[in-house]
């Protein structure tokens, strides 16, 4: 079992699982908010479990997950894998994460063997290189709670300043450089699961940038409650999660207590390697009444 204290763990250990039988795995997830398991780690561990039921020749090409209940970071989570299909190129798995006898997360994932073919992608947006941006751990600036999130020891982030000039009306957006803080082994599944972990750090907050300061997780006096509802990712090309990736996120709609955000990951040389979409619960928090 991986250590349950992320302050003393590395990213590999945070994604590691104990295998109890061929299709049952168990892991510990740290908190993303008080007494709530971090959703990115739950999704990454579920994908890790699914990947361990396949041969090394297949890698994830997509995942679709739903957060059903808040996981308890104090207790283990069980991941049961169902082997739905194994074809010549594609394979499909369903994973149910349970805790205290109840499902807290479900995920369907697709895996495939690599193949050659037509290739194109959109151009990477312009952003200052990460070396010119400040680490919020050194200078919090508009991100004072950066150090409060337990996972910051394994992920580095550099927030680009907001773009000058008018944006698309009704759209919020932000650019963040992201990478694992330590070198990772040469295992493609691990790098993909590491990106799944990191993808939940700033995506939902993009949908609430016009409601509060653009903090990755929370503020001391938040104006809106943000909870991930679902999470979908597509992995387009090979990458390393321990190299800097530009995470370009935007939200085009929020309403009915929900916000939708999408994001794209680019390598430093401009290759689009992954896309992600997430819907999050957005509920304003009333300020405390004055005595």
Q: Mind giving me the DSSP string for 51-75? A: HTTS-TT-EEEEEEEEE-S---TTS
Give the pLDDT confidence of 97-107 residue by residue, as tens digits.
999 999 999 99
Q: What is the mean pLDDT of residues 40-65?
A: 96
- Answer whether residue 86 shows pLDDT above 80: yes
Output the pLDDT for position 283: 86
In this structure, which long-range contacts are made by residues 113-120, counting pairs with CB atoms below 8 Å and at least 24 apart in sequence? 113/57, 113/58, 113/88, 113/89, 114/59, 115/89
DSSP 169: T
Question: Which tokens belong to 247?
Answer: 């995470």
- Answer whether residue 112 shows pLDDT above 50: yes
Question: Which tokens belong to 78?
Answer: 């069980």
Q: 218 falls in which pLDDT band (50, 70, 90)? A: very low
**Catalytic one among 99, 199, 228, 251?**
228
- Answer whether residue 9 shows pLDDT above 50: yes
Helices 188-199, 39-51: axis angle to 10 degrees equals 160
- Answer whether residue 288 shows pLDDT above 60: no
Question: Which residues, in sequence order, are CB contacts of 134 under 8 Å at separation 6+?
Answer: 141, 158
CA dist 41 and 181 (Å) reads: 16
DSSP 163: P
**Catalytic one among 45, 156, 275, 278?**
278
Distances in Å between the Cα of 47 and the Cα atoms of 15, 173, 177, 180, 232 are 10, 27, 23, 18, 12
The label of the residue with tokens 């450089």 reads 177
CA dist 177 and 268 (Å) reads: 9
Segment among 39-43, 143-147, 169-173, 236-240 with least mean pLDDT: 143-147
CA dist 148 and 137 (Å) reads: 10
Output the pLDDT for position 255: 92
Output the pLDDT for position 141: 55
Q: 224 falls in which pLDDT band (50, 70, 90)? A: confident
Q: 135 falls in which pLDDT band (50, 70, 90)? A: confident
Output the average pLDDT for the chain.
Answer: 88
Question: Which tokens belong to 178?
Answer: 């992201």
- Answer whether residue 23 shows pLDDT above 50: yes
Q: What is the mean pLDDT of residues 66-75?
A: 95
Q: 219 falls in which pLDDT band (50, 70, 90)? A: very low
Q: 57 falls in which pLDDT band (50, 70, 90)? A: very high
Segment among 19-33, 78-92, 190-204, 215-229 with least mean pLDDT: 215-229
Q: Which residues of 272-289 are buried (b: 16+ CB within 10 A; e: fewer)?
A: bbbbbebbbbbeeeeeee
CA dist 42 and 268 (Å) reads: 28
Q: What is the DSSP string of 202-269?
A: SHHHHTTTTTS---SS--SS-SEEEEEEEEEEEE-S---TTS-EEEEEEEEEEETTEEEEEEEEEETT
Q: Is 41 annotated as catalytic?
A: no
Q: Is 278 annotated as catalytic?
A: yes
Which residues share a beta bridge with 64?
108, 232
- Count of CB atoms within 10 A of residue 11's CB? 25
Output the pLDDT for position 147: 56
Give the chain's domains with CATH numbers: 6-113+131-284 (2.40.160.210)
**Catalytic one among 200, 202, 242, 275?**
200
Q: What is the mean pLDDT of residues 263-274?
A: 98
Entry pTM: 0.90
CA–chain centroid gap for 144, Å, is: 21
- Answer whether residue 152 shows pLDDT above 70: no
Q: What is the mean pLDDT of residues 217-221?
A: 43
Torsion of CA 150, 2, 157, 130, to 10 degrees: 150
């Amino acid at each position: 079992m991986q250590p349950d204290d992320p302050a003393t763990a590395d990213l590999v250990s945070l994604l590691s699982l104990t295998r109890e039988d061929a299709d049952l795995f168990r892991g510990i997830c740290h908190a993303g908010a008080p007494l709530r398991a971090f959703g990115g780690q739950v999704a990454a561990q579920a994908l890790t479990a699914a990947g361990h039921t396949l041969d090394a020749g297949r890698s994830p090409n997509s995942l679709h997950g739903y957060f059903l209940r808040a996981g308890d970071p104090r207790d283990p989570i069980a991941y049961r894998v169902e082997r739905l299909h194994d074809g010549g190129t594609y394979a499909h798995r369903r994973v149910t994460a349970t805790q205290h006898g109840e499902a807290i997360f479900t995920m369907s994932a697709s895996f495939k063997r690599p193949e050659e073919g037509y290739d194109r992608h959109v151009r990477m947006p312009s952003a200052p290189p990460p070396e010119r941006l400040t680490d919020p751990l050194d200078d919090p600036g508009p991100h004072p709670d950066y150090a409060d999130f337990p996972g910051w020891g394994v992920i580095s982030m550099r927030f680009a300043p907001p773009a000058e000039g008018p944006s698309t009306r009704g759209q919020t957006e932000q650019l963040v450089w992201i990478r694992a803080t330590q070198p990772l082994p040469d295992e493609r599944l691990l790098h993909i699961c590491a990106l799944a972990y990191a993808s939940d750090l700033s995506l939902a907050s993009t949908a609430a940038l016009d409601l509060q300061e653009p903090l990755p997780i929370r503020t001391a006096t938040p104006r809106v409650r943000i909870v991930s509802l679902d999470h979908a990712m597509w992995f387009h090309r090979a990458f390393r999660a321990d190299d800097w990736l530009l995470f370009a996120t935007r939200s085009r709609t929020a309403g009915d207590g929900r916000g939708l955000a999408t994001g794209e990951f680019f390598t430093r040389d401009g290759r689009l390697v992954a896309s992600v979409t997430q819907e999050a619960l957005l509920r304003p928090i009333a300020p405390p009444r004055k005595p």
